């Protein structure tokens, strides 16, 4: 099995500022037990040290299970958000901090796999709607456009899809989305930016060929 140091070399570098800032000489030198003891106090330096020590391992586990770098990064971010939010419930006497983090990782991987299945089901349902739902004489363009957008949204990672859904369909601002999801505002902005970029790429279509026998407009 890969060591923490080797796994960390493969881990993502993005994340909230508290995760990526240098943890400081004291926190960096803490052993696992000391980090576990200090984590519930909510010290940013300790959180940064925890992230630097185990984010590579979390990313490696997620990447191996999901076989997708983007999804593995999203899972890694969700795991350490879970660590931060759940720090008061962690009990060192029940097991080491690394084992607790790996347990959160496994649950987040299961969530990501479930979200992937839901996206595929949505895409299949959208295809069925196109095949069976429209009247023969109806203009197909609005239906096609809706299905293209729906399918592109369904293909996004779950976090990006949720942010864009809340923005587009529930008309929430990014501040409201942060309050609804409990994610930091910077995380919401990051998911929105990446989601919109991926959505534009998915929806970008080549020009349709002109109908045979007719000059293009």
User: Top-level CATH class of 7-116?
Assistant: mainly alpha
- Per-position b or e across 15-28, b if 16+ CB within 10 A of its CB: bbebbeeebeeebe
Cite the residue boundaries of each domain of the chain with CATH code 1.10.1740.10.
Answer: 7-116
List pLDDT tens digits, range 114-135. Answer: 877 776 665 665 555 545 444 4
Most confident region among 38-42, 49-53, 124-128, 167-171 by mean pLDDT = 49-53
Q: Give mean pLDDT, residues 147-155.
A: 70
pLDDT at residue 55 is higher than 60? yes
pLDDT at residue 139 is higher than 80? no
Residue 4: the pLDDT is: 38
Residue 44: the pLDDT is: 81
List pLDDT tens digits, range 62-119. Answer: 999 998 888 899 899 899 989 988 888 888 888 899 999 999 999 999 988 887 777 6
Write out 10-67 in H/E/C secondary structure: HCCCCCCHHHHCCCHHHHHHCCHHHHHHHHHHCCHHHHHHHHHHHHHHHHHHHHHHHC
Higher-pLDDT residue of 130 and 54 is 54
Query: Is-contact 37 92, C-beta < 8 A?
Result: yes
Cite the residue boundaries of each domain of the chain with CATH code 1.10.10.10.
Answer: 137-205
The SS3 of residue 9 is: helix
Residue 98: the pLDDT is: 93
Q: Is the dihedral of CA 12, 14, 18, 21 positive or negative?
A: positive
Cβ partners under 8 Å of residue 150, min gap 6: 122, 126
Distance CA 156, CA 71 (A): 9
Distance CA 57, CA 100 (A): 13
Higher-pLDDT residue of 118 and 1 is 118
Domain 137-205 carries which CATH code? 1.10.10.10
Cβ partners under 8 Å of residue 51, min gap 6: 15, 19, 20, 80
pLDDT at residue 51 is higher than 60? yes
Lowest pLDDT segment from 32-36, 40-44, 187-191: 40-44
Query: Is-contact 202 149, C-beta < 8 A?
Result: no
List pLDDT tens digits, range 165-200. Answer: 888 777 788 888 888 888 898 899 888 888 888 877
Q: Give mean pLDDT, residues 44-53.
A: 87
Alpha helices in the chain (DSSP H): 4-10, 17-20, 24-29, 32-38, 44-66, 69-85, 97-132, 140-154, 158-168, 174-181, 185-203
Most confident region among 23-27, 144-148, 159-163, 165-169 by mean pLDDT = 159-163
């Amino acid at each position: 099995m890969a060591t923490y140091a080797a796994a960390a070399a493969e881990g993502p570098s993005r994340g909230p500022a508290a995760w990526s800032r240098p943890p400081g000489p004291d926190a960096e030198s803490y052993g696992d037990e000391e980090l576990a003891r200090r984590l519930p106090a909510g010290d940013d330096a300790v959180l940064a040290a925890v992230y630097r020590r185990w984010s590579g391992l979390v990313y490696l586990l997620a990447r191996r299970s999901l076989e997708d770098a983007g999804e593995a990064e999203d899972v890694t971010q969700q795991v350490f958000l879970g660590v931060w939010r759940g720090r008061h419930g962690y009990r060192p006497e029940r097991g080491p901090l690394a084992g607790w983090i790996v347990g959160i990782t496994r649950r987040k991987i299961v969530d990501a796999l479930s979200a992937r299945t839901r996206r595929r089901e949505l895409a299949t349902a959208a295809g069925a709607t196109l095949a069976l739902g429209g009247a023969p004489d109806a203009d197909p363009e609005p239906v096609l456009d809706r299905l293209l957008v729906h399918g592109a949204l369904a293909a996004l990672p779950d976090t990006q899809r949720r942010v864009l859904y809340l923005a587009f369909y529930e008309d929430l601002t990014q501040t409201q989305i942060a309050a609804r999801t409990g994610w930091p505002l910077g995380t919401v902005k990051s998911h929105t930016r990446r989601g919109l970029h991926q959505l534009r790429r998915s929806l970008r279509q080549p020009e349709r060929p002109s109908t045979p026998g007719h000059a293009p407009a």
